[in-house]
């Protein structure tokens, strides 16, 4: 039985804890740590059979029985805790992003060199049944040569402005998943980015220095073009769609719904709305990514989403931010060169 320690008991920490407890075989969450632990969280942990609850994550790193740690704390702690966990010899699953600062990501990359630590980054959409099916169709050549990739990603409602202020902006918080999906779906690298955006949902987001709606166009290393459209608000639910168009055809995935029932009557043709948010939409994907990581640890295999996969979307996100700021296309190599990459 693999013993796991979870660092961070916020929303994503709770998602991983519950998915492991309920769906991941051969794994046990032995301990969870959060500096803001309270009685409610302790009761929740106890209900899942987790006896050890700390306000200091270092107790998890010191526990010899724990071989895997999940870093689910605030983004500004990810790289710091990663370095400490590497030094402690723990295998690490780190939620995205590793850091907003590329230099700090490089520190993690350097620390991993020569170590036996497995390090996976939490881009859960790679493990979603819809995205995987579309990727397999592209990879198998069923649509021929990829020409255009379109990704739609819209949240049902914007996060609090307090979150916006520390999130790194829409490109490093929300679109980062879509940048990863461009690489995953296409099997290619993003070479050039041009982004436009605006504040169309909540003026307070603009006052906090961010945008809430964006369209990003990209040139890929395989010659294909990609388009992402993002919005912080979709009144009908969590909108997650992809279309890959190629020389022989296309593959498209639609939103997940609670049922596929369609009612046709005099009033119209009525179907279910998309699932409301990522917790409902991707719960199985969260379990599957941890199962994959544990399998890599136990069988000494390469992880499916490595530290480089964690780095690349951050570089693309920074290119998109510069594109907005300077109103021009930006090559990702330009950003990489700033950091000696």
Spatial distance between the Cα atoms of 260 and 18, rounded to a whole number of angstroms: 27
What integer pLDDT is reported at residue 313 of this predicted model?
A: 98
What integer pLDDT is reported at residue 65 of this predicted model?
A: 97
- Residue keyed to tokens 């009557």: 265
Residue 88, CA distances (Å) to 84, 248, 254, 262, 289 in order: 6, 51, 43, 54, 23
Residue 120 near residue 298 (C-beta atoms within 8 A): no
Q: Are strands 190-198 and 52-54 parallel, antiparallel or unpaired?
A: unpaired
Spatial distance between the Cα atoms of 121 and 92, rounded to a whole number of angstroms: 8
Spatial distance between the Cα atoms of 31 and 278, rounded to a whole number of angstroms: 25
Q: Are strands 268-271 and 249-253 parallel, antiparallel or unpaired?
A: unpaired
First-last CA distance in the chain: 40
Spatial distance between the Cα atoms of 57 and 35, rounded to a whole number of angstroms: 8
Spatial distance between the Cα atoms of 20 and 14, rounded to a whole number of angstroms: 10
Residue 272 near residue 259 (C-beta atoms within 8 A): yes
Instruction: Say how many C-beta atoms besides its own lie within 10 A of residue 341's C-beta.
Output: 14
What's the length of the chain?
341
pTM of structure: 0.95
Q: Are strands 146-154 and 225-231 parallel, antiparallel or unpaired?
A: parallel
Spatial distance between the Cα atoms of 65 and 52, rounded to a whole number of angstroms: 13
What integer pLDDT is reported at residue 340 of this predicted model?
A: 97
Residue 205 near residue 166 (C-beta atoms within 8 A): no
Spatial distance between the Cα atoms of 104 and 83, rounded to a whole number of angstroms: 10
What integer pLDDT is reported at residue 283 of this predicted model?
A: 86
Instruction: Say how many C-beta atoms besides its own lie within 10 A of residue 270's C-beta.
Output: 10
- Residue ranges of domains in the chain, CATH in brackets: 2-117 (3.40.50.720), 128-277+312-338 (3.30.360.10)
pLDDT along the chain (341 residues), means of 10: 96 93 92 96 95 96 98 96 98 97 98 96 96 97 98 95 91 97 98 98 96 98 98 94 98 90 92 80 91 96 98 98 98 98 95
Spatial distance between the Cα atoms of 170 and 198, rounded to a whole number of angstroms: 11
Task: Tell me which DSSP letter residue 56 carries.
Answer: -
What integer pLDDT is reported at residue 257 of this predicted model?
A: 87
What integer pLDDT is reported at residue 280 of this predicted model?
A: 75
What's the alpha-carbon Rg for the chain, to the nearest Å?
20
Measured on CA atoms in the order 295, 301, 304, 307, is the torsion positive or negative? positive
Spatial distance between the Cα atoms of 107 and 88, rounded to a whole number of angstroms: 16
Helix axes 102-112, 75-87, angle to 10 degrees: 20
What integer pLDDT is reported at residue 316 of this predicted model?
A: 98
Peptide bond preceding 324: is omega within 30 degrees of 0, i.e. cis? no
Spatial distance between the Cα atoms of 104 and 291, rounded to a whole number of angstroms: 27
Spatial distance between the Cα atoms of 196 and 328, rounded to a whole number of angstroms: 9
CA dihedral 18, 68, 313, 104 (to 10 degrees): 130
């Amino acid at each position: 039985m693999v013993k796991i320690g979870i660092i961070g008991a916020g929303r994503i920490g709770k998602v991983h804890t519950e998915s492991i407890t309920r769906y991941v075989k051969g794994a046990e969450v032995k301990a969870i740590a959060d500096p803001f632990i309270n009685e409610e969280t302790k009761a929740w942990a106890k209900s899942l059979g987790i006896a050890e609850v700390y306000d200091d994550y270092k107790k998890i790193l010191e526990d010899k029985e724990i071989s895997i740690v999940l870093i689910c704390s605030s983004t500004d702690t990810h790289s710091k805790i990663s370095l400490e966990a590497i030094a402690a010899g723990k295998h690490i699953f780190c939620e995205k992003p590793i850091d907003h600062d590329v230099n700090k990501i490089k520190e993690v990359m350097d620390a991993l060199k020569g170590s036996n630590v497995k390090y996976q980054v939490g881009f859960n959409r790679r493990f979603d049944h819809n995205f995987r099916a579309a990727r397999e169709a592209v990879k198998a050549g069923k649509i021929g040569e990829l020409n255009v990739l379109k990704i739609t990603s819209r949240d049902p409602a914007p996060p609090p402005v307090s979150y916006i202020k520390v999130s790194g902006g829409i490109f490093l918080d929300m679109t980062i998943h879509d940048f990863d999906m461009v690489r995953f779906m296409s099997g290619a690298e993003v070479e050039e980015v041009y982004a436009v955006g605006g504040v169309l949902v909540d003026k307070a987001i603009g006052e906090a220095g961010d945008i809430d709606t964006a369209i990003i166009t990209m040139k890929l290393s395989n010659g294909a073009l990609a388009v992402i459209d993002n919005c912080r608000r979709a009144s009908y639910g969590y909108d997650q769609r992809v279309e890959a168009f190629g020389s022989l055809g296309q593959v498209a995935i639609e939103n997940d719904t609670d049922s596929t029932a369609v009612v046709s009557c005099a009033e119209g043709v009525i179907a279910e709305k998309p699932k409301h948010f990522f917790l409902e939409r991707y719960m199985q994907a969260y379990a599957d990514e941890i199962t994959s990581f544990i399998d890599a640890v136990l069988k000494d295999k390469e992880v499916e989403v490595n530290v480089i996969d964690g780095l690349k979307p951050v570089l693309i996100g920074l290119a998109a931010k510069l594109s907005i700021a300077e109103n021009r296309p930006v090559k990702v190599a330009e950003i990489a060169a700033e950091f000696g990459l």
